[in-house]
Structure 1
Amino acid sequence: MSFHPYTSTLQTERPQQAPDGAARGRPLRVVIVGAGFGGLAVARELGNTAIDVTVIDRRNHNLFQPLLYQVATAALSPADISEPIRRTLGRYHNIKVMLAEVTGIDASTRMVLLDQALPVPYDRLIIATGSDYNYFGHDEWRALAPGLKTIHEARQIRHRLLVAFERAEMSQDPEEKKALLTSVIIGGGPTGVEMAGAIAELGRFMITRDFRKLAPEHFRVLLVEAGPRILAAFPEELTTYARRELDRMGVEVMTGRMVEDISDGIVIANGETIRTANVIWGAGVKASPAAGWLGVEGKAGGRIPVDGTLRVSGHTDIFALGDTALGTDEAGKPLPALAQVAKQQGQYLGKALRHELLDGKASAPFHFNNRGNTAVIGRHAAIFDFGKWRLKGRIAWFLWALVHVYLLVNFEKRLLVTIQWIWRYLTRQRGARLIDENVTRSITPDRKP
């Protein structure tokens, strides 16, 4: 689940509840906070059982975040990669869904505290609240450089890109035209690389096919990375290939550049001023504020430390998973904040709770089955790292597409996305290039260096 900052509220002056539902002659209550990959996986494993399950999320839909960049670049529509939570879980008679914002957790009385609703009691609590982008103390940059965690952000980026092209077509000032057609992506991880490649493909296609007064030399895509190389989590041979492909697509990769300031129409990196109408942030993430709800110290970007069974230290009835949890593998290495980790943890925890609460059986510790790390650069270009062996190029691109279609929430979404990808592959057309005239605003850079 993506989030915006919550207000942490801890209350302790409530009467202590009975340990478990069984002691009170009622079904055991499992509350899941967050309906992302992990939260939904837990809920499905507990569906249609004798356990009373409540899923709480501040949004009414689940979202396949790995494909948000395609919404931002007009390749897919928001509905293609999202679905109402009630529809996803509607077939399970024992699952209730609440549209609410969590403000805290009262662990002493086993209550989840909500912003505008009564507290929700639990016997077991699962925290799966995801992560957000880390602006490293410059939260004022968020409005100027949106990330890719929500549909709103993706639509905002798409809107700015499309409006910039329309304004550039009308501009008579060469410098203004160039600034309008300059996009700066901050962060050289998978999200930044995928965005850079997608914007490069979108822009050059539109300039060639749809605009009469724009030329390819006006168009720039800059990928800014503070570290020495992009895709630092991948082996160097794969990052070398990715950079070569980005160069071929016309993306200017700027490594070793620290962003110093972002203002309206301006990015300053290592003293260089770049005029731009579009800034996208992908430079780092931090966990949700759930650690503060529990009064525990977050580690590695605010993540909650958990043991091998995903229990939060000091709380036998509270679990955490996905991006908001800090779990480790058998070697003691932190598990990455990836969709496959959250989904596997959710499936494991759902089964473990089912065995524990219904059969009284304990489960072995969680084991992460690494199915590889991947990033797509552009048409026919992707990388796949499986540890012992690696793929790049057309085969990796095809495998990337298969994996992402498979991970979509249901068959309908898989079919829709597959059909649109095939059509886009054959025609290179982008079908979601719509601008909402009611929210159009001037984004023309009005300051020159």
Structure 2
Amino acid sequence: MTGPQRPRIVIVGGGFGGLACAAALGGAEVDVLVLDRRNHSLFTPLLYQVATAALSPSDIAEPIRKALGRHRNIRVALAEVTGVDAVAKTVHLREGEDVPYDHLILATGSDYNYFGNDDWRTHAPGLKTVNEARVIRQRLLLSYEQAEATGDPERRRALLTHVVIGGGPTGVEMAGSMVELGREMISRDFRRIRPEDLRVILVEAAPRLLMAFPEDLARYAQTYLEKHGVEVRLNCAVKDMDAESVTTAEGVIPTGCIVWGAGVRGSEAAQWLDAPAAKGNRLLVRPDLSVEGRPDVYALGDTAAAMGEDGMPLPALAQVAKQQGQHLGKALRAKIEKGTPLPAFVFHNRGNTAVVGRNAAIFHFGKRKLRGRVAWYLWALVHVYLLVNPQKRILVTIQWLWSYMTRQLGARLIDETPPQVVPAASPAHNDTLREASAGKV
């Protein structure tokens, strides 16, 4: 005779929230299945450093199987989810049989919002995947090579003009890093182009940068960027673009590389459930992170529109997703093993930070505000801490120290076959998925 079936928990998404939740359920009397369309978890806040050749993709990525391999009750499957049947309690996969669940956790993250202009993605990739970061790096490095080779001054000027769209943390960090990459690399390694030939233009439709930060910190960031060569254009909306130019209300900007960082929206999780969504396509959740009107379905991180103690939606930050994952994993474990009701999630703000450039960052924590070198140290500590394991923390710290002391970047590789901006892959692994749903993987 076989004993009663253990509760089945399916986690969709292996990012900050999904991994934290799975780890908290490790060793519990439950069977956990983690589904993700990629085989790795990615530390997206540092993707801009991959795009600007400061780090390699492997420095900030970890195979999900490796991260969770020590927990024998957790299985991992490479799969793309296409829908959820909340009545039958099954998850639909693009390829493979439906996966049943007793508890479903949606931690599917977010994607960049092109505001109805999805064709712009090809010209202006964002920073959500390794592929996008590699595309940006390829275009940046190629623009320097082509500018060095051309004898046409206008062509050279266009190639060395790089446009970042969006004045949030991603846009600010990317613009500052692009200037540092270009100025250091051109002065050392090129002969026909000069550091002063480089132009980095940061375009923001709002009246100021970094709307999530206090105004004085945003002013500091803008002043620093402008002092170090970034052209900041506020109240400047993008109207159109193609592969070699961006059109704004102020005119056409010929460019060698475009980067998008102008807002995000939640995944299709709300559409899977046919559930109401808040602004940004984020699922409405109760205080215990369960989805409104969907028993035994929970949402984490960028997927969820969870409210803070001030009644405002919690920001789409790594620390929010990680805390929610840890909370929900422990709470579900206690509910299943002891019958303890799920408590409300309470976010403990560790501060909000953004790097502006070398020795310059801003840090906002409650009423405390820091800027400059001290904030830069705190930014580094926070990001190293949030990396998935001690090995990555040590590797990234060593690389940062080396780059800081030598001003040399080690990931300046141009592929012979350029990467393309494509949707995330949805590979077919039918046999594996059948075994996973049957509890054999």
Does the alignment reach a TM-score above 0.5?
yes
Matched, 1:70 2:49: yes
Corresponding letter in the other structure for 2:27: N
2:26 alignment partner, one of 32, 39, 47: 47
Matched, 1:381 2:360: yes
Matched, 1:263 2:242: yes
8 Å contact from structure 2 (residues 134, 419) kept in 1: no
Structure 2 unmatched runs, 5+: 421-441
Corresponding letter in the other structure for 1:386: F
Q: Counterpart in 2 of 1:240? A: 219
Corresponding letter in the other structure for 1:113: H
1:349 alignment partner, one of 304, 324, 328: 328
> Aligned-pair distance for 1:84?
0.7
Taking the TM superposition and a 5 Å limit, the aligned residue runs for 1:10-21 are none
> Aligned-pair distance for 1:361?
0.6
Q: Counterpart in 2 of 1:198? A: 177
Q: Counterpart in 1 of 2:58? A: 79
Deviations 1:258-312 (Å, cap 9, x if unpaired)? 1000112010110411000100000000000110000112211110000000000
Q: Counterpart in 1 of 2:342? A: 363
Distance 1:217 1:348 in 2: 50
Taking the TM superposition and a 5 Å limit, the aligned residue runs for 1:44-123 are 44-123=23-102
Distance 1:300 1:30 in 2: 28
Inter-CA distance 171–440: structure 2 relative to 1 (3 Å threshold): farther
Distance 2:159 2:228 in 1: 19
Matched, 1:38 2:17: yes
> Aligned-pair distance for 1:248?
1.4
Deviations 1:88-130 (Å, cap 9, x if unpaired)? 1110000000100001001111000101111111000000000
Matched, 1:307 2:289: no
Distance 1:377 1:271 in 2: 25
Corresponding letter in the other structure for 1:256: N
1:130 alignment partner, one of 109, 116, 121: 109
Q: Counterpart in 1 of 2:266? A: 287
Distance 2:16 2:303 in 1: 12
Distance 2:368 2:94 in 1: 48
Matched, 1:26 2:26: no
Distance 2:372 2:197 in 1: 28
Inter-CA distance 440–50: structure 2 relative to 1 (3 Å threshold): closer
Taking the TM superposition and a 5 Å limit, the aligned residue runs for 1:177-216 are 177-216=156-195
Task: Tell me the secondary structure at the aligned position of residue 278 of structure 2.
Answer: coil
**Number of residue pairs matched?**
419
Distance 2:272 2:151 in 1: 54
> Aligned-pair distance for 1:49?
1.5
Corresponding letter in the other structure for 2:275: V
Q: Counterpart in 1 of 2:396? A: 417
Distance 1:74 1:440 in 2: 15
Matched, 1:338 2:325: no
> Aligned-pair distance for 1:68?
0.2
Deviations 1:372-404 (Å, cap 9, x if unpaired)? 111000000000000211100000001100110
Matched, 1:175 2:154: yes
Q: Counterpart in 2 of 1:148? A: 127
Corresponding letter in the other structure for 1:291: A
4+ residue segments displaced more than 6 Å:
none
Structure 1 unmatched runs, 5+: 1-21, 442-449
Corresponding letter in the other structure for 1:240: R
Corresponding letter in the other structure for 1:36: G
Deviates more, 1:327-336 or 1:272-281: 327-336
Distance 2:94 2:252 in 1: 43
> Aligned-pair distance for 1:180?
0.5
> Aligned-pair distance for 1:338?
0.6
1:427 alignment partner, one of 370, 383, 406: 406
Distance 2:82 2:405 in 1: 48
Q: Counterpart in 2 of 1:253? A: 232
Distance 1:170 1:42 in 2: 51
Task: Tell me the secondary structure at the aligned position of residue 311 of structure 2.
Answer: coil
Matched, 1:272 2:251: yes
RMSD across aligned positions (CA)? 1.2
Deviations 1:24-50 (Å, cap 9, x if unpaired)? 811100000000000000000000111
Distance 2:59 2:195 in 1: 31
> Aligned-pair distance for 1:440?
8.0
Corresponding letter in the other structure for 2:44: Q
Distance 1:310 1:240 in 2: 36
Deviations 1:213-268 (Å, cap 9, x if unpaired)? 00123210000000000001100110111011101110000000010001120101
Q: Counterpart in 1 of 2:434? A: none
Inter-CA distance 320–440: structure 2 relative to 1 (3 Å threshold): closer
8 Å contact from structure 2 (residues 205, 237) kept in 1: yes
Distance 1:390 1:58 in 2: 39
Task: Tell me the secondary structure at the aligned position of residue 291 of structure 2.
Answer: coil
Distance 2:34 2:51 in 1: 28
Higher RCO, 1 vs 2 (CA within 8 Å, ≥6 residues apart) = 2
Structure 1 vs Structure 2: percent identity of aligned residues?
Answer: 61
8 Å contact from structure 2 (residues 131, 419) kept in 1: no
TM-score, normalising length: structure 1: 0.92
8 Å contact from structure 2 (residues 236, 250) kept in 1: no
Distance 1:365 1:440 in 2: 44
Corresponding letter in the other structure for 1:316: P
Matched, 1:319 2:285: no
Task: Tell me the secondary structure at the aligned position of residue 177 of structure 1.
Answer: helix
